[in-house]
Amino acid sequence: MHALYSFLVHIAWFFLKLIALIKPKIKLFVDGRKNVFSDLSDSITSTDKVIWMHVASLGEYEQGLPILQKLKRLYPNHKLLLTFFSPSGYEVKKNTPFADIVTYLPLDTITNAKRFIKQVNPKMAIFIKYEIWPNYLNTLKKNKVPTFLASALFSKKQVYFKWYGSFMRKSLKAFDHFFVQDSNSKKALNSIGFNNVTVSGDTRFDRVSEILDQNNELDFMNAFKQNKFCVVVGSSWPEDEKIIADFINTSAEDIKFVIAPHDIKNEHLKSLTERLTKKTACYSQRESKPLENYDVLIIDTIGLLTKIYSYADMAYVGGGFKTGLHNTLEPAVFGIPIIIGPNYSGFKEAEDLVNSGGVLSIKNEVEFLKTINNLLTNESLMKSTGKINSKYVSSNTGATIKFLNHIDPRI
């Protein structure tokens, strides 16, 4: 099975290089891995003590970030290496100040894994959530590198728990300890013989709780909001925008709207703007237009949404109709009501908050209109709904400390 897996990885790499000729994102995936080993040679010496964290993409980076930040403070004499699998994570966070070296992870071949581990010689390896790469894990185990899986989620639906999953189950033996998000994950691991498990929670709660302590002030938002009621639509897709556009167009004049689309390409922004009849401006026009005179502000850049949520009195989080729900914890930490689409299964925090009433799921435009109007006409409902969200975040912090209290302080 190991030989078959390695063969399939090589086949995948061959086809990825072909697809890269016509797909820009795959080209980033392929080209970004061309110079990994030479970059590591330039950045790491034989005397360096390296702590390695690997994440899949942007979401997993946010989960790993609280650990990364604490490690940087606790181990100032170590170099922190951060690797990404996906371009959507690497391209956004390649200049993060919380790691000394940021690069792609070469594909999981035996040759790459041996070369990578020999070159990096990590004192500790941390994988986040779902990242299970058999050849890397096997090499780490052979080299007796302390290896941990943090903020992990397991369910009986995964391959590790199937009759045909023995190869992947064997890969899990490389981990010295599992830090899982919930008791169901622990029970699942226990059922296949893994007892080195701690229910620590999700480090993303630590990450978002820190947002409250940072400076979230934005001059353009102060100018735009003007102390009016503000609805922030975060990470929206066309399916979401179709649902909310008519409400925006017919809403009262004392409500402001901020829309941060997932797709900020010109073609999509043009289509979105044409759909809206309210006076609309884009973030890129903020210097040339008096934002206080506009009803809708479209954020045609990335990296601002977290702070923008601090200005929201209510949020709509996109992706719940087709593509996969986006981050609901970022608006939840500010104690505001949140509306999402119907597809949130598998997003634990969304499932929890829908069940407790802090996040309101809608299936269509009729339900959206009913839900948002109920909130707008019932101030006590608005406050109680938002309070459920803020309490949920505050009561689930602490995963980072549980992780740090366990790892070997002698690394």
- Region 293-305: mean pLDDT is 95
Question: First vs last Cα of the chain: how many Å apart?
Answer: 34
Amino acid residing at 246:
D
Which whole number is the average pLDDT over 8-34? 90
Percent of the chain with pLDDT over 70: 99
| pLDDT for residue 215 | 95
Measure the CA–CA gap between 14 and 21, rounded to whole angstroms.
12
Give 2's pLDDT tier (boundaries 50, 70, 90): confident
**pLDDT (0 to 100) of residue 410:** 53
- Confidence class for position 411, pLDDT limits 50, 70, 90: low
pLDDT-derived band at 409 (thresholds 50, 70, 90) equals low
Q: Which two tokens stand for residue 234?
A: 């975060």
Render pLDDT for 327-337 as a digit per residue (tens, 0 to 9): 999 999 999 99
Q: Per-residue pLDDT tens for 72-123?
A: 999 999 999 999 999 989 998 999 999 999 999 999 999 999 999 999 999 9
Mean pLDDT across the stretch 24-49? 93
Average pLDDT value for the chain: 94
Sheet holding 177-180, edge to edge: 101-104, 79-84, 50-55, 122-128, 147-152, 177-180, 197-199
- Point out the least confidently predicted range of 115-124, 235-244, 320-329: 320-329
Statement: residue 42 has pLDDT above 60: yes
**6: confidence class by pLDDT, cuts 50, 70, 90:** confident
How far apart CA 114 and CA 122 sit, in angstroms, is 12
CA-CA-CA-CA torsion sign (162, 168, 172, 173): positive
